[in-house]
Chain A
Amino acid sequence: MSNLLDIHHVSKSFPGVKALDDVSMSLAAGSVHALLGENGAGKSTLIKIITGLLHPDTGDVVLDGAPTRFNSPREAAAHGIAVVHQERNLVPRFSVGENIMLDRLGKGSLSRIDFAAVNQEAARWLKLLDLDIDPQTPVSRLSVAQMQLVEIGKALSLKSRVLLLDEPTASLTPAESEALFAIIRRLKADSVAILFVSHKLEEVFQICDTVTVLRDGRNVCDSVPLAGLGRQDVVMMMIGRPERISSRAPRPKTAAKPYLELGDFGSAAGHQGIHLSVRPGEIVGLYGLVGAGRSELAKAVLGLYRQTSGTVCIAGAPVHIASVAEALHRHGIGYVSEDRKGEGLILMHSVLDNAGVTVWRRLAGRLGFLASGAIARRIGPVVDKLEVKTPSLRQTIGNLSGGNQQKVSVAKWIAAGVRLLIIDEPSVGIDIKTKAYLHDLIHELAAGGTAVLLITSDMPEMIDVADRILVMDGYRIKGEVENDRNYERVSQAIMTHIHSRQAA
């Protein structure tokens, strides 16, 4: 099989860091190639070089056997290389058809758009993807998964022969991912070369043929067949040590009185009849597909959605929580948002300000003045303990890696001494090493008597961390599974609860 795209010994340096060091990779037509590596391993830099956003210092990008040099993603697209980025890149108010054909709406600025032709052409690509969507539907009405597929349709409509998918399943449900894989398999049969970047190894083994692993900007392996490799081998290559899968023993049950108890709870977000309790020292998992209402439930507890029915008890006493400030300062509830960059951190502020924001109120002097010294004394030990890799507390947090940002978002609640911590999707976009570290940290917190409510769509993570798993669907709790760390049994039980929806 001939190679469509070759990366030949590419190196790229940025001031102070060598992002890629003599990296090679080959993509063949009609195969799916996994690009793996922890955060900071150089995957994004490599993708940017392939799409012309960056130029290599040394080495070549070889397309069809000839070295090429693209000056922009547009030029790369013209040569049949298209990317579907991790973030959605669609214009929400525009129709599906217009989005797919956005760069081909007309010849000149003042030319009249032939909408019939645009929709007809778009419909062709939607049909190819088995997407039953009218091209005239506004993109804002689609689900995240549909938007993703529309972007793939858009990439294909550029007659792409090389398709780069950057974490395509990050926001998809398992069923939606399956549908995506079916499409990837079909594209593969049509001789498209596909590069698949993902943190989810199960998926990689499911659909990829070959794999390139990067670590610290270098090849650990270069385009080897995945067939002979096991999951442990790949993990070993990525982090240099084998990953532990559910090696923890189930933790002893605690008999303490629940810290948070919801009885027949309903909210303005649409929850109904929610019964839930979290004891001090207990880790309760909340599993469900995207859209099941888990994050919304956390936000309803914090007072961001109005309570419409039922009761909320904190340490046995009925309460009504009206605002996040009240949740934190009166009841000691902290929330680590799934949207780290949007809701969790102030990216342009320092580590100190981000971690300290929860304790300002308590540490403020009589006149409301904040002494940096006092805050640093409080924050410093926590930041050290979590092994946040930052040159100083003054460092702007936007400059840290995703894993370290996540540590800071947890640190700020630890510093605040919360008694109930709600953690929403703690490991989205986090490398395996930091993920394992965060899991240890959650266990340590619980061992220290903190009640933890864990929300995650990552099944292995749920089974590795939680004591008890509540399964949520359609803004209701569908059932509860005791977690004995037996992956097969527990995941089966969870799925049974979710699929009981038709019966219910």
Chain B
Amino acid sequence: MDNRRGLQILNNDWAGPALICLASIIVISVLQPSFLSPFNILVLLSAIAVNMVIALGQLVIIGIGQMNLALGTLGGLVGVCFVGAIEVWGVPTPLAIMMGLGIGALAGMVNGAIIARTGISAFIITLASLQIFKGINLGITKAQPFYGVPDIVKQFGNTAVIGPLPWLILPMLITALGLWYLFRCLRIGRYILAVGGNRQAAELSGIDTVGTVIWAHAISGVLAATAGMMLVARLQIGQPTIGDDWLISSFAAPVIGGASLSGGHVSIAGTFFGVVIIAIITQALVLFSIDPFVVQIVLGGLILWAVGINRFREWRFAKMEAAGVRP
């Protein structure tokens, strides 16, 4: 019985990625002891914190069975608006943060409303809004960074709370735990997964699917905005290019973590380990001064591997059903 329970833990979405994390940390730290130096851990955790919030922004949309291509350019737009408002209008920092989150929520709601009301695929709508957000970004910045990032923001993005733990993991913890609670215990979270799992069933059960889609995109927008501002804090400038490279890893981490791209199933813990794996690979290649193009190839391979694992699980599940193994 105990043995079986042990195996069941291995069946969890996050078990595989967690084992890979552990193994690669051990291998790399043996080969390169400086990998576990407090400074390196601080750098690693800062990257993980930002990338986790990005991945969560995509995870919500994956949960409802859609995709959000505009995640990156929305994050970038909020990033420059945040710094721009402080620099140009002299808006106090807390107010600028609220404004940034508001822009994220609003832009997400608009995306969600168009998708839900027209029935056009999220791929097309967010492809269009990706362009629009980027255009607004370049119009505001004229492709030049804003430099007026307040010191407190810079410190938040580059100092540690205690030991090697950066302040940046605070927003990551809040959003990750919040989302975990949302998907597990709140009505809207269950509705997002219900719509992702079987939209017609959700609709016929009297769930407001339009409202649920709008909610999901609004949450995704808020997470994109949070990640955009976290990156501003980390980079210490309002770069107009923030968000340009989010797309692949925002999908890779949830998928590695066991999310089903057809919707209805997500794993926050799995996504976290997905983010960690990507961060470790990126770091390791720097530590061993391997060509950066290898990162791209390895990341692509990881996505294929993750999708393969998910497929294998479904196949095995179907086979168990066929053999009549039912409780």
Contacts and interface: CB of A to CB of B under 8 A. Distances in A.
Interface of A: 73-74, 77, 85, 87-94, 98-99, 102-103, 105-106, 108-113, 115, 137, 140-143, 154, 269-270, 291, 293, 296, 474
Interface in B174-212: 185-188, 190-191, 193-194, 197-198, 200-202, 204-207, 211
A102 B205 contact: yes
A105 B202 contact: no
A113 B200 contact: no
A435 to B, nearest CB: 28
B327 A109 contact: no
B113 to A, nearest CB: 15
Contacts of B185: 112-113, 115
Contact of A112 (B186, B215, B317): B186
Given A73-B206, A291-B324, A93 B186 contact: no
Given A85-B204, A269-B322, A91 B187 contact: no
Q: What class of interface size applies to chain B in its complex with A?
A: 20 to 34
A77 B207 CA distance: 13
Interface string B264-280: 11000000000000000
Contacts of A92: 197-198, 264
Contacts of B323: 270
Contacts of A296: 322
A200 B197 CA distance: 32
Given A89-B201, A90-B198, 13 more contacts: A89-B204, A90-B201, A92-B197, A94-B197, A105-B187, A105-B190, A106-B186, A109-B188, A111-B186, A113-B186, A115-B185, A141-B327, A474-B324
B4 interface: no
Contacts of B215: 109
A494 B147 CA distance: 83
B187 A113 contact: yes
Q: Which 8 A-B pairs have the closest CB atoms?
A: A106-B187, A89-B201, A103-B206, A109-B188, A91-B197, A74-B206, A102-B205, A91-B194
Contact of A109 (B187, B264, B265, B324): B187
10 contacts: A90-B198, A91-B193, A91-B194, A91-B264, A94-B197, A102-B206, A108-B187, A109-B188, A111-B186, A112-B186
Interface string B205-248: 11100010001000000000000000000000000000000000
Contacts of B265: 93
Nearest to A102: B205
B189 to A, nearest CB: 9
B188 A110 contact: yes
B326 interface: yes
A109 B317 CA distance: 33
A235 to B, nearest CB: 33
A305 to B, nearest CB: 10
Contacts of A94: 190, 193-194, 197
A489 B186 CA distance: 58
Interface in B292-327: 317, 322-324, 326-327
Interface of B: 185-188, 190-191, 193-194, 197-198, 200-202, 204-207, 211, 215, 264-265, 317, 322-324, 326-327
Contacts of A93: 193, 197, 264-265
A107 to B, nearest CB: 8
A143 B321 CA distance: 9
Nearest to B327: A141
Contacts of B190: 94, 98, 105, 113
Contacts of A143: 326
A269 B150 CA distance: 65
B40 to A, nearest CB: 39
Contacts of A89: 198, 200-201, 204-205
B108 to A, nearest CB: 15
Nearest to B182: A110
A293 to B, nearest CB: 8
A103 B327 contact: no
Contact of B206 (A77, A88, A99, A142): A77
Contact of A141 (B204, B205, B211, B326): B326
Contacts of B198: 89-92
Contacts of B317: 140
B207 A102 contact: yes
Contacts of A103: 205-207
A73 B207 CA distance: 11
- Of B185, B194, B265, most buried by chain A (CB within 10 Å of CB) is B194
A87 B198 CA distance: 12
A143 B322 CA distance: 11
A75 to B, nearest CB: 9
A133 to B, nearest CB: 9
Contacts of B193: 91, 93-94
A296 B323 CA distance: 12
Contact of B204 (A73, A105, A115, A269): A73
Nearest to B205: A102
A501 to B, nearest CB: 12
Nearest to A75: B206
Contacts of A88: 201
Contacts of A102: 194, 201-202, 205-207
A106 B326 CA distance: 31
Contacts of A140: 317
B259 to A, nearest CB: 12
Nearest to B199: A91
A106 B265 CA distance: 21
A470 B303 CA distance: 46
A106 B186 CA distance: 8
A296 B206 CA distance: 37
A94 B190 CA distance: 9
B82 to A, nearest CB: 26
Contacts of A474: 324
Contacts of A98: 190
A108 B265 CA distance: 22
A496 B211 CA distance: 55
Contacts of B204: 73, 85, 89
A160 to B, nearest CB: 13
A298 B204 CA distance: 35
Nearest to B211: A109
- Of A92, A103, A111, A115, most buried by chain B (CB within 10 Å of CB) is A103
Contact of B187 (A90, A110, A293): A110
A99 B264 CA distance: 13
A291 B327 CA distance: 16
A98 B185 CA distance: 12
B312 to A, nearest CB: 15
A261 to B, nearest CB: 25
A111 to B, nearest CB: 5
Contacts of B264: 91-93
Contacts of A109: 186-188, 191, 211, 215
A137 to B, nearest CB: 7
